[in-house]
Amino acid sequence: MGTGFSTLGTAMSGLRASRAALDVAANNVANAGTEGYVRRRLETSSVGAPAVPALWSRYDGQGEGVRVDGVQRMTDELLTARVRREHGTQSYLDVRSRSLGRIEGGLAEPGENGLAAALTALQASWQEVSTSPTSSSARSQVLQRAEAVVRGVAGQVAAFGDEAADQRVRLQGDLVEANGVAANLAQTNEAIAAGHLAGTDVNSLLDARDGFARRLAELTGASTTIALDGTAQVSVGGTPWVAGARAGTLAVTAGITPAGDADGRPVALAVTLAGATTATGPLGGEVGGITDVLDHAVPDYLADLSRLVSSLADKVNAQHRQGFDADGNAGGDVFTYDPADVLGSFAVAVTDGRKLAVSAVPGGGLGTGNGEALARTGVSAEYSRVLSGFGTTVADAGRRATVQKVVTGQADTAHDQLAGVSTDEEMVAMVSAQRAFEAASRVMTAVDSMLDTLINRTGLVR
């Protein structure tokens, strides 16, 4: 049966709910600039009549007030998962685009110091020496320009090698960070599970969980699944990595030596979890982008350059052997290289300009037919195709990264619209909570006045 005292209890529940709503709004405003914070909303429900009726009486109340059910994070797991995926893709494309861009800058193409200019100058020097076969300066110029070609090739090899070395160092650093984040996520999972069982507020832990999962996606392209108790289960390359309170260790198993050098094999990684080591599939994120550069971009270009260099050496050497030098001797090799390591051994074999077999006439004659033929043995066209192919790859990487920025921005915007804190909205929530608190207080004042009249004034005789 409803009484004035029960009405006081109803008003008290309203005061408590209003105060809790004000606390939640204040907390949202205080964390408006906190990275990774997700807006909270107070969840309430009305307290109805007793579910089980009394044996000898009938409930005639009008409800028992309001109940605070908890504080909910304003987030959508599908949107959160999309943000993780898009950021992982963005990291992959950004790392690849920046790395290829740095390499392209190191090629110095087009430019007077590039390999293309050196190849063109070498062909021109053969033509010049064929015009002046007795000129020692013309012969010396051929050797100088041949050395310039060798230096140009060595410069490109060094540019690619330096970038590969930097990326191997970065890969190892990313793995150290990723394993640390995975360990932190496992500890957070343990705290979330304990808080879930105890019924305490774990919203701050859930914010931290999402931050760790997103960083793992950025570093490795890891995929995350959220369990019913709020813990995150993470796998990388199809291999379990974080399972509840346990975190594995992601490490390189091939491609990079402990000292950080290349071992001639493709980069391979594996996860060690609970004593078992399992190889991973292809990764995404920064690690995946680095792996792509080390396994494809760098070796593919160097393989093309190696074929170009061996083709140049073979063409020039074959034509040079058909001529005769200033002393009437048959020409030898102009360039030399080891087929097992073309780029590392490429060098000029001739050190004396008189040994250049410019003449096509035996016995030291001045015929210049072989010099003219040597001027037609260049590989400038082939090099242009190689360079054009690499430039297309670099441009495509940049375009893909730029397009992905738009997609990633859309995902972030959709997530922030739900999870981000709007100070205007929180101001409205605070005013609403304040007015509700004032109304509940007024109810208590009215009931107090009513009870005072009923208790102290009823039945008085004057």
pLDDT at residue 205, rounded to an integer: 93
Q: Cβ of 55: how many Cβ atoms within 10 Å?
A: 5
In this prediction, residue 29 carries a pLDDT of: 92
CA 30 to centroid of chain Cα atoms: 31
Give the pLDDT confidence score for residue 2 in this predicted structure.
53
* Paired sense of beta strands 239-243 and 335-336, if any: unpaired
* Same-domain pairing of 378 and 443: no
Please indicate, yes or no, if residue 461 is contained in any of the structural domains.
no
- Asked if residue 87 and residue 33 are part of one domain, the reply reads no
Residue 193 lies in a domain: yes
Q: Are residues 89 and 132 in the same domain?
A: yes
CA distance 154 to 147: 10
Co-location of 390 and 407 in the same domain:
yes
Query: pLDDT value at position 54?
Result: 67
User: Is 215 within the bounds of a domain?
Assistant: yes
Q: Is residue 431 part of a domain?
A: yes
* Residue 297: domain span: 78-419
**Mean pLDDT for each 10-residue chunk of the chain (462 residues)?**
69 90 92 90 83 68 79 90 94 94 84 85 85 82 90 90 92 94 95 90 92 95 92 93 93 88 89 90 93 92 92 89 81 89 90 82 66 80 88 93 95 90 90 91 86 76 60
312 and 392 assigned to the same domain: yes
Same domain, 431 and 402: no
Q: What are the residues facing 272 on neighbouring strands?
A: 249, 277
Copy the structure tokens of residue 156. 């490109």
> Do 412 and 382 belong to one domain?
yes
Q: Where are the alpha helices (DSSP H) in 66-135?
A: 77-106, 115-131
Rounded CA separation 231/130 (Å) = 78
Sign of CA dihedral 454, 455, 459, 462: negative
Residue 462: inside a domain, yes or no? no
Is 338 among the domain residues?
A: yes
The count of structural domains within the chain is 2
89 and 40 in a common domain: no
Residues 6+ apart with CB under 8 A from 69: 43, 44, 45
Are 243 and 101 contained in the same domain?
yes
306 and 445 share a domain? no
pLDDT of residue 33: 87
Cβ(309)–Cβ(342) below 8 Å: yes
**Do 51 and 101 reside in the same domain of the chain?**
no
